[in-house]
Amino acid sequence: MNPTPQDHEFLTRVLALAQRSRDEGHHPFAAMVVAADGTVISQAMNASSSDRTAHAEMNALRIASQQYSPAKLAGATLYANAEPCAMCSGGTYWSGVGRVVYAMSEASLLELTGSDPENPTLSLPCRTVFAAGQRPTEVIGPLREDEARIAHKDFWHK
């Protein structure tokens, strides 16, 4: 499936949020959960410096899951500036969110982070995680990788 104009609008917003995350001293990641009608259900930045499981996607999914049932979230989209890792893909699946749109692939992220101990990247595409599930999760990405790289420039390997 092809990305929609709404997908690009929310990717622009999540890319700006990732830069804000970096500017506030966190890892440069952000995510949003958006209902099918375009209503933002939740948005979050990365907070893994204090909790290694507090990835932006997990933070946004926790908020969304507290407000809506999996049935309601089935029509929602998770937007992320980077491909959800295995943990975040699992969280997406268990929350019931039915669609994921991301800007930068895990492989491209690994090129930026390398062996930085702050981000020991898992080489497990989100599509592989979702394919192991019993219900479909639509995935669109990577999109706009060059833009997604900006928030990561000179961040890793300090």
Residue of 27, 57, 25 lying closest to 43 (CA atoms): 57
**pLDDT (tens digit per residue) in 104-131:** 998 888 787 777 666 677 788 999 999 9
Cβ neighbours of residue 128 under 8 Å, at least 6 residues apart? none
Q: Are 119 and 158 in contact (CB under 8 A)?
A: no
How far lies 52's CA from each of 55, 59, 91, 93, in Å? 7, 11, 14, 20
Catalytic residue among 9, 24, 57, 145: 57
Q: Which domains does the chain have, with CATH numbers?
A: 5-152 (3.40.140.10)
Establish whether 57 is a catalytic residue.
yes
pTM of this structure: 0.94
Residue of 109, 18, 27, 93 lying closest to 61 (CA atoms): 93
* CA diameter of the chain: 43
Per-residue tens of pLDDT for the chain, all 158 residues? 899 999 999 999 999 999 999 999 899 999 999 999 999 999 999 886 677 888 999 999 999 999 999 999 999 999 999 999 999 999 999 999 999 999 999 888 878 777 766 667 778 899 999 999 999 999 999 999 999 999 999 888 75
